[in-house]
Amino acid sequence: MLWQLVGMLAVVLGIGASIALHEVGHLTPAKRFGVRVPEYAIGFGPQLLSRTVGETRYSLRAIPVGGFIRMIGMYPPARSPRTGGPLVRMAEEARVDSLAEVGPDDVGRTFYEQPVHRRIIIMLGGPTMNLVLAGLLFAAALVGVGLPNATSTIDSVAPCAVSTTNPKGLPSASGTCVGGPSAAHVAGLQSGMQIVAVDGTPVQDAASLDAALAAVAKRGATDGRVTVVDASGARRTLSIHFQLLTLPTLDASGAATGATERRAVMGVLLAWQREHLPVTVVPRVMWSMTTSAVSALGAFPGKLVTLAHTLVSGGQRDPNGPVSVVGATRIGGEIAASSADGWDKVVSLLMLLGSLNLFLFLFNLLPLLPLDGGHVAAAGWEVLRNALRRRAARRPIDTARLLPLTYAMSVLLIGVGALVIWADIVKPISLGG
């Protein structure tokens, strides 16, 4: 229970830090370009803590589901008064509130007065920070801590012959070996020996050993030779009588595919060591995760419908469906409470937080207001509009006119978030299936 709480706390703090740094990504270029920022906030709703430094109030709010910075002059003055329904009036009130903070000394310091490239840089600062964080977290996991990798060194020798019902080659309750001693035991293989060749085929690691044993099974030969380096450093070649077993074929995740294959086995367990991967692996991992995340975003509406149906019908929840902050926190707790090696838990938690930051990067780039990508899309349209009209000094795009759509999208996002959070409470996804 204690380790589960530790894992949950680690994820909560990690997500909180990601949100805070996302807003720093907006704040830093805004201040660098001279835009006045009255407030930097983590969370929404009532203020819990606040402190003013310079011209910015830094606050912590009660509802920890995001954050924001408030820049003066987010919306330009209206060219003419607008009338309409409640949403139009709300939009105009937001424009008035945005301009109310603009004082006589703020000429050139409003958001709307900035050149379009500066506005794009400010809005992209947050997602870019999440992308950088994702890269750092993946690098810390894969390069810093490293992944467990099986070596060609023998950790232990099975006393009895290996079978599909006795994969570890353990003796029976009476202490006898039902199928006789294992091939490794008969050959004289011992713990600490490093296997360097099988039937003359060089072996450097567990993968090459597996390939060499697959070649033995393909030939159908059972008598062979194993070359080892013992604890004293002496090189020895031992005769061995391999076992040939028909075993299920596994996919990349370790799940049975339903097919079988002929395998040569010796009856040894290999030692593991932690391998620190090169930095060049990180971009490849991030690209692979990005393509998967983009596909997941495309399938998100369908997954959401499936999730709603599952909650109504009480069916089995899709383990690859959407997960909220609540669900990610629970998964972090399960990771910390699992029986895995301590460093493996650290890697899993770092990869989880890295994946969340990568998703935040991609999600915030969606060209929808109120997301950062919506503001970037509006600025991009402004560039295109000016280019088509060949006029460089036109009024900035009036995003206040899009506020009714922004409000509607905000309500939709809140509803989606509430649905996924509720699903993570009443029918959580578990690592154990």
Please say if 275 is a catalytic residue.
Answer: no
Exposed / middle / buried, residue 75 (Cβ in 10 Å: 0-12, 13-18, 19+): buried
Q: How far is CA 378 from CA 46, 65, 112, 116, 367, in A?
A: 31, 25, 12, 10, 8
Cβ count within 10 A of residue 68: 18
State how far the Cα of 369 lies from the Cα of 397, in Å rounded to an integer: 13
Three-state helix/strand/coil letters over 321-333: CCCCHHHHHHHHH
Which residues have a Cβ under 8 Å from the Cβ of 345 and sit 6 or more positions away?
A: 7, 335, 336, 338
Q: Which residue has the tokens 């390069």?
A: 143
Q: Which of 23, 92, 334, 382 is catalytic?
A: 23
Exposure letters 173-201 (e unless 16+ CB within 10 A, then b): eeeebeeebbbbbbbebeeebbbbbbbee
Catalytic residue positions, numbered: 23
